[in-house]
Amino acid sequence: MINVIKVSFYEDYKIKLYFSDNSFGILDFSYLLKASTVLTKPLEDTTYFQQFFIDFGALCWKNGLELSAESLYLKLKQQGNLHLAQDVA
């Protein structure tokens, strides 16, 4: 089971995600704004967008929006943006 273990704001609507299998990637979340739902509408405010956090391995916002690690991992993999961290000796 994959979990999000660390997140950091990158730029605009992009977040750098680190996963429990030692992989990482930068995902552009602007696609969520197109949904324009009750849960995604608040993300249009960049200050609110940047208030994400991890809860039980998922990416969350305080309004209840929760994105599973598996869905984020798959999206990055499909886009070719999932990378394996290189061990530094």
DSSP letter string over 23-76?
EEEEEETHHHHHH--TTTGGGGSHHHHTT-EEETTEEE-TTS-EE-HHHHHHHH
- Domain 4-84, CATH among 1.10.3720, 3.30.70, 3.30.2020, 3.90.550: 3.30.2020
Give residue limits of the domains in the chain: 4-84
Q: 3-55: per-residue pLDDT in tens?
A: 999 999 999 999 999 999 999 999 999 999 999 999 999 999 999 999 999 99
